[in-house]
Amino acid sequence: MFTTTGSRGLYKAPLSKSLLLVLNGLTVMLTLLPQYQQLFMYNLQAVTQQHQVWRSLCGRLVCLDVKDSFCSSLLIYNFRIFERRFGTRKFASFLLGTWCLSALVDFLLAQAFQFLFDYEVEELPAGLLAPVFSLFVPFYLSIPRMPVTQVLGHIQITNKSLVYVVGLQLLTSSPFMWLLALSGLISGGLYHSNFLRLQKILFVPAWVSRIGRYILEPLFSSSQPSSETPLGMGATLDIQRQQRMDLLDQQLLLAQYNEARRNARHQPQAGLLQWTRLFPSLRHRGQNRPPMQPRPQAQTHQSTQPTLDNSPVAEEQVARLVEMGFSRIDALEALRASNNDINMATNFLLQH
């Protein structure tokens, strides 16, 4: 669904995994126990007038609305790429810094709104919402935008469009969600630009990071999908097939990006959404694949590892796929990619 983050799941993202599991688990518990929801409401009036400062902590962690929890979870899952790229400690420091900054910015924006429109903001949506919105700042600045297709010849669909759609859905879920979104964007911009050396002031200490590495990371870390894992020959072949299909997908995405850049000004697009560019047939994959370089004979004789490209294809499996309605060329390509596994080849053909 999110094409910018790859297909490794939550590997090397223990903090993102812990946020998804713990916060969503608390949301479900509070939904089943509504008598305790009062403790987790983000009530600004209670913080300022009754000096209940603890509400700034409890009210800005757990979502009380299931829809807000679902949308924020989708965004956290997508933004896990920053934890992989920068490391868990820097990712945690960004969330901590923007969480602290947004607490101050929330209060300032509420006071400004009351001054301009003579309306007091008493309560804001609860949850880890402002730090989630703050992650749109590095997402906009750091993640490259690659065109996928066009709608009506003018509206361009990119690999980042769906993320913005989910963010817009979260933005329109509550009346004062815009205030948290603006607070998060301001906090994210200040922390990302290192304004007043905020990254040196608000950060996760090294000793806290070590405690999390030895205590929390074993609970929430995900294992690496490696062919060296002793799971048996079947698991090894499955991993090799998955890696090969992932490589084909990466090559196809790169070829589509280069082709879109070349033909952006020369091929006017008209009509509705072009699904053939989103899901090209398998015969086009061979055209986008880079040409194979000839290998020296010495290396060919010394190599003992069999490749999946030279694996024979059973004719009866090709006939079964042709009977299902697929072309022979597509069936051959799918069987080679799946190492003659007809179930995986069928799923591969249905998805592409």
Q: What is the CATH number of the domain that holds 143?
A: 1.20.1540
Q: What's the helix, strand, coil split of the chain in %, to 5?
A: 65, 5, 35
From 64-68, 201-205, 232-236, 344-348, the region with the lowest mean pLDDT: 232-236
Residue that terminates a domain, selected from 165, 186, 221: 221
The answer to whether residue 207 sits within a structural domain is: yes
Q: Which of 190, 221, 252 is the last residue of a domain?
A: 221
Average pLDDT of span 25-47? 94
pLDDT in tens, 198-227: 999 999 999 999 998 888 788 888 776 554
Strands 155-158 and 123-124, by their bridges, are unpaired
Residue at 302 is within a domain? no
Measured in residues, the chain has a length of 352
Q: Find the CATH number of the domain harbouring 344.
A: 1.10.8.10
What is the pLDDT, as a whole number, of residue 246? 61
Spatial contact of 60 and 99, defined as CB atoms under 8 Å apart? yes
> Are 326 and 198 in a shared domain?
no
- Reference 67, options 158, 166, 143; nearest CA is 166
- Whether 335 is in a domain gets the answer yes
> Considering the entire predicted model, what is its pTM?
0.65
Asked if residue 104 is part of any domain, the answer here is yes
Of 181, 204, 221, the last residue of a domain is 221
Rounded to the nearest integer, the mean pLDDT of the chain is 79
Within this chain, do residues 209 and 65 fall inside the same structural domain, yes or no? yes
- Asked, for residue 7, whether it belongs to a domain, the answer is no
Query: In terms of domains, do 203 and 329 share one?
Result: no
- Tell me if 229 is assigned to some domain: no
pLDDT of residue 288: 45
pLDDT at 270 over 70: no
pLDDT in tens, 107-129: 999 999 999 999 999 999 999 99
In a domain, 109, yes or no: yes
Confidence of residue 339 (pLDDT cuts 50, 70, 90): confident
Instruction: For residues 84 and 180, give the distance between their C-alpha atoms in angstroms, rounded to a whole number.
Output: 26
Query: Pick from 261, 270, 84: which is nearest to 158 by CA?
Result: 261
What SS3 state is found at 43?
Answer: strand
Task: Residue 94: give the domain boundaries.
Answer: 14-221
pLDDT in tens, 134-153: 999 999 998 888 888 888 77
**What pLDDT is recorded for position 267?**
52
What pLDDT is stored for residue 12 in this prediction? 84
Number of domains comprising the chain: 2
Q: Are residues 66 and 185 in the same domain?
A: yes
**One domain for residues 72 and 210:** yes
Do residues 340 and 211 both lie within one domain?
Answer: no
Domain match, 72 and 202 both: yes
As a whole number, mean pLDDT of residues 247-259 equals: 61
Helix (H, G, I), strand (E, B) or coil at 149: strand
Cβ-count burial of 123 within 10 angstroms (0-12 exposed, 13-18 middle, 19+ buried)?
Answer: middle
- One domain for residues 209 and 319: no
| pLDDT interval class at 231 (50, 70, 90) | very low
Confidence of residue 278 (pLDDT cuts 50, 70, 90): very low
Asked if residue 193 and residue 340 are part of one domain, the reply reads no
Encode burial over 148-182: b for 16+ CB neighbours within 10 A, e otherwise.
bbbeeeeeebbbbbbbeebbeebbebbebbebbbb
